[in-house]
A and B are shown apart, each in its own frame.
Chain A
Amino acid sequence: MAVAATTKTGARPSRAGRRPSAPAWVGTVPFFAYVAIFLIWPTGIVVVDALKNPNGTWAFSNLSEFGNPLVRGYFIGSLKLCLISSVTGAVFGAILAYAVASGDPDGLIRRLYIAVSGVLAQTGGVTLAFAFLVLIGPVGLLFHASWYFEFPWGIGLIYTYFQIPLMVLVFMPAIDGLKVQWREASENLGASSWQYWRHVGGPLLLPAFLGATLLLFANALSAFATIQAWENQIAYVVPQQISTALSSEVGLSNVNEADLLALGMIIMVAIVMTGYALLLRRAARWLR
């Protein structure tokens, strides 16, 4: 290690460091390059190809395909499934999160539920479809649900299995942020539990709750493995149809169907996540 070099940059790390030949941001180039190649480029391809004809010329008229009843059907299917699973997931997840958070912060139950939630929120997919198939499917051990293969309900129930744990993970910090003093203050003023939740706790948690629901919505929207393992003959939701369009050449005439559907999903997620970010900022005002 050359002494001259260390004293030059090392003595005053904050300011003097900018002087050497290469600027400091050069150190972040590998990261940016990687993200550009494997995240930005593919997304860019999707957006550009969705707006082009198969022969390569620009065709913004492709967007009119979103009015096609067939295409709209997949988006409506996605909406239904996401709404059902995110709302039920959020409500039950919030109840569970409160039950967990109101216990010993370092206790076994809390650690267990957080670890389990971490696994279950991730898992989903093929495994999950199998598990419900043998629990309530045609060969089910518990009972044989006649609605198991009905579109929004059967798969909606399966989705809540990973939505609830995700809600627990996302919503827990908000509940932990409720200050004990607020509860004490309302108790001292003679408030009942109901009044506390109606006027203090509820309004404080509402933005965080709605934000988390939106996150769950986006999560259900992009889920593909579970529904594909549940039923792979009929395409109910957008991801399934993207998969069909990718693996077969037949599609909407003159349109890169997979790209167009993917663009539709990007737009939907963008709307949802913008709402999420806004609500999160609102929630952060009190919970810090």
Chain B
Amino acid sequence: MAAVTSLGETPIAAPARRPTGMQAGRRRRLNIFRYVVFTIFGLFFLLPLLAMARFSLEAPNKLGTWSLQAWRQIASYQNTGIPPLLSSIELTLELAVITCAVILVLLLPTMIWVRLRVRWLARTIEFLCLLPLTIPAIVLVVGLAYIYNRIQRVELSTLMLFWVYVILALPYAYRALSAGLTAIDVTTLSEAARSLGASWFTVIVRVIAPNMRAAILNAVVLTTALVLGEFTIAYLLLYTNLQVELYSISRNTPNAGVLFSTSLAALTFTFALLLIVSYAGRRRRGRG
């Protein structure tokens, strides 16, 4: 049943098609169903983005014209009362880098250490890491407003948002890293390294971490996606990151072309990162 593929599309070395346990006729009907579904959902997901793209390519105040002005404005847009757009973009990217670095330094050694030496803490760590999924950001911010207001006297820079973003990204980073840890034999690797005289630091940083490169990359991308899209906490603590900036612009000038070009650029950036990671992950799996 699995061999219904025609000769033309089956190169000799190609891996066998996934068996579905279905008769050929049903398989064909299933394929029609699949392509109908893909088309409908594809349109649903694509149309809003296309509308946004169209608006980003329109000259201001002249409906139906084409212009690249909105895309050029990303670098230069400025409105009264809010910081220039470019500075918020830079700031958000810096935030993403800091958040990724902190989360890796905080979480990765802890997870490896727990797996090697303190297994009885594993469930607690997992629970704590997934907890932010259940505590909405808006709830967190109510409590944080109190803490941040206390420290506010020292004039915190917007970059200090990373402290909270690390918490928000914990569940995603944890899942990615946990998948990576399960895929390798941590105990054997560490026993081998330890019996060759490696310190625990060497075991974690130079033996285990390099073996889960794909998982680390995955965690980094998910964290970046989260930071680029974060609005709630920055908005309520009165900081201006990229999303808050876009929101403020839309309050002043609804339909400003630069809104659409910037949003689209941010989306495309995240999407490209994720696609790269999914390809990288596949290649490693293929070799291993």
Contact = CB atoms under 8 A, between A and B. Distances in A.
B93 interface: no
Given A102-B34, A130-B260, A31 B139 contact: no
Given A38-B167, A114-B278, A273-B133, 11 more contacts: A24-B113, A28-B121, A32-B128, A99-B33, A115-B275, A118-B225, A122-B222, A125-B229, A127-B246, A239-B232, A269-B134
Given A139-B255, A225-B243, A246 B194 contact: no
B209 interface: no
B79 interface: no
Contact of A118 (B33, B45, B246, B274): B274
B49 A131 contact: yes
A180 B167 CA distance: 40
Contacts of A41: 143, 147
9 contacts: A35-B128, A35-B170, A122-B226, A127-B243, A141-B51, A180-B19, A180-B21, A183-B21, A273-B134
A1 B199 contact: yes
A126 B262 CA distance: 11
A262 B263 contact: no
B143 A44 contact: yes
A96 B38 CA distance: 7
The main secondary structure of chain B at its interface with chain A is: helix
A125 B270 CA distance: 15
A126 B250 contact: yes
A3 B196 CA distance: 11
A132 interface: yes
A95 B274 contact: no
Given A28-B125, A119-B271, A130-B263, A13 B139 contact: no
Given A13-B116, A13-B190, A183-B21, A45 B34 contact: no
Interface of B: 15, 17-23, 26, 30, 33-34, 37-38, 41, 44-45, 47-49, 51-52, 54-55, 106-107, 109-110, 113-114, 116-118, 121, 125, 128, 131-147, 163-164, 166-167, 170, 187, 190-191, 194-195, 197, 199, 222, 225-226, 229, 231-232, 235-236, 243, 246-247, 250-251, 255, 259-260, 263, 266-267, 270-271, 274-275, 278-279, 282
Contacts of A251: none
Interface in A111-134: 111-112, 114-116, 118-120, 122-128, 130-132, 134
Contacts of A120: 45
Nearest to B55: A134
Contact of A39 (B15, B17, B107, B131): B131
B140 A28 contact: no
A231 interface: no
A1 B197 contact: yes
A55 to B, nearest CB: 16
B45 A243 contact: no
In the A-B complex, the 9 residue pairs with the closest CB atoms: A42-B143, A222-B136, A183-B21, A184-B21, A225-B231, A131-B48, A45-B143, A24-B117, A127-B263
Nearest to B105: A30
B17 A122 contact: no
Contacts of B131: 35, 39
B163 A38 contact: yes
